[in-house]
Each structure stands twice: as structure tokens, then as C-alpha cells.
């Protein structure tokens, strides 16, 4: 059996219709920052607020909506949702709560990729 030894870096890759506009969206609404952009490769990477975790945005002629949902921790799910909705961001359904455990809300990026915010209720 083959094994690998991954380092502590993760890139979540999405195909997008306009990576420059999408990178700006992630910067404006989630506070992420562009790390680099390579026009020849049609690729832009943005750093999340989690060390070692980036989001890669690749130009695509045909979008493939992700079936993976990155979950970003927030201190207040309701306030975060209100702020995002106030900016016109679409949510997929109601906020879910598992009492004493977690509060979750799923929203969509400009191309329809699902993202989630989560508030830890265990503390």
C-alpha cells in the first residue's frame, strides 16, 4: 500500500467563470487576500484566514459546481449571515442548529459553489 506524507498546506480548487472578479468577491465578503495570479495558467490563489489553507480559482469554459463545501468558523453565525445577506449574498436554506454543538448556514459564491459558516456552540 502506498502512503504519502502531506504537509500542512491545503488548496481548495474551484472552477470559476471569472477568477479575478471571484477573487475580489472573496476578498470583499470574507476578508481573504490574493496570494498570486498567473494569467497564462488561468489561476489565482487566495489565502483564507486559516494558516496553510488557500482557495484556488481556475478559469473554466464550463463550470463544474463543487460537491465539496468548505466550512469556515465564525464567532457569531447569525451576525455573519445577516452581514452577508445584507451584501446580497444568497443562502441555501435556513440556518441549522444542533443545540450545544454547532450553528451552520450555507451560502453560495458568485458561481454557485457552496460555502458554509459555522459557530461552535460547545463552549
Residues 6+ apart with CB under 8 A from 23: 34, 37, 44, 46, 57
Length of the chain (residues)? 123
Residue 102 covered by a domain: yes
* Residue 4 to residue 6: CA distance in whole angstroms: 6
The predicted model scores a pTM of 0.90
Range(s) of the domain holding residue 94: 10-120
Q: CATH no. for residue 25?
A: 3.10.180.10
Q: CA angle 15-20-25, nearest 5°? A: 90
Predicted confidence (pLDDT) at residue 61 exceeds the cutoff of 90? no
Residue 29 covered by a domain: yes
Residue 1 covered by a domain: no
83 secondary structure, DSSP code: H
Predicted confidence (pLDDT) at residue 1 exceeds the cutoff of 80? no
Residue 45 covered by a domain: yes
Number of separate domains in the chain: 1
Beta strands at 33-38 and 43-47: parallel, antiparallel or unpaired:
antiparallel
The pLDDT tens digits of the residues spanning 84-121 come to: 999 999 999 999 999 999 999 999 999 999 999 999 99
Residue 88 covered by a domain: yes
Amino acid at each position: 500500500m502506498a502512503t504519502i506524507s502531506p504537509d500542512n498546506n491545503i488548496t481548495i480548487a474551484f472552477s470559476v467563470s471569472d477568477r479575478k472578479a471571484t477573487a475580489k468577491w472573496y476578498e470583499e465578503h470574507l476578508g481573504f487576500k490574493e496570494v498570486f495570479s498567473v494569467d497564462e495558467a488561468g489561476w489565482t490563489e487566495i489565502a483564507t484566514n486559516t494558516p496553510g489553507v488557500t482557495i484556488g480559482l481556475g478559469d473554466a469554459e464550463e463550470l463544474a459546481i463543487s460537491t465539496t463545501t468548505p466550512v469556515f468558523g465564525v464567532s457569531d453565525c447569525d451576525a455573519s449571515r445577516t452581514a452577508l445577506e445584507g451584501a446580497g449574498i444568497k443562502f441555501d436554506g435556513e440556518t441549522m442548529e444542533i443545540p450545544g454543538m454547532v450553528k451552520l448556514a450555507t451560502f453560495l459564491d458568485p458561481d454557485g459553489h457552496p460555502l458554509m459558516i459555522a459557530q461552535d456552540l460547545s463552549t
